[in-house]
Amino acid sequence: MNLKSKYFDSIRISKKGGNEVEAQVTCDWPDCSEVGSYPAPAAEGSSDKRYFCLTHIKSYNQSFNFFEGMSEADIAAFQRSARTGHRPTWTMGANRNTPGQSGNWQWQDPHDLVSEVAEGKAPALAKRASSGQKRALEVLELDETATAEDVKTRYKARIKKFHPDANSGDRSYEEKLNKVIQAYNYLKASGFC
């Protein structure tokens, strides 16, 4: 192996240049001549740095606004993306894309056992309600086959019926109103609607 190769000269560490002292930079703050030991970003998206002294880096950091010049929509999009660390995400769930998937199977299916699922013919699974959900549905006078839209419609109707303003201030319906609100909140929290 040739140690004097032109390909490796640029990556070789020189023993002679390793003891150099870094040049000291002055503070970028106007009318300041102190040593700028603290780097700060010059502009958003730029790799350039500005250097400040300790007193001026504090005031620079306090006045720095990352969202300056961004619209409300851009700020909201940044905040949504920040929840996942600005990494892409996908929807999750068991058998999320099974109905309607293309029938591009890698094996033979002579008895059409799998092709029904691939064509979207899978039977709709009945939504099973838990005992708490059943009790909440009973308060709203609905059965287990109720959809989320049915629950919302019944909830709105019950609120209007039992609200004190609709009953001339009669507080006798207050307990029923509280039960309806609790039932709806339980169904919402449990993912039923």
Q: Which domain holds residue 75?
A: 23-85
pLDDT digits (tens, 9 = 90+) for 88-141: 887 776 655 555 555 554 566 667 666 655 555 545 555 677 888 889 999 999
Tell me if 98 is assigned to some domain: no
* Number of compact structural domains in the chain: 2
pLDDT score of 173: 85
The continuous run of DSSP H or E covering 39 comes out as strand 38-41
CATH number, domain with residue 171: 1.10.287.110
pTM of the predicted model as reported, rounded to 2 decimal places: 0.37
Low-confidence ranges of the chain (pLDDT < 70): 1-3, 5, 7-23, 44-45, 93-110, 112-127
Residue-wise burial string across 8-46, b where 16 or more C-beta atoms lie within 10 A, e elsewhere = eeeeeeeeeeeeeeeeeeebbbeeeeeebebeeeeeeee
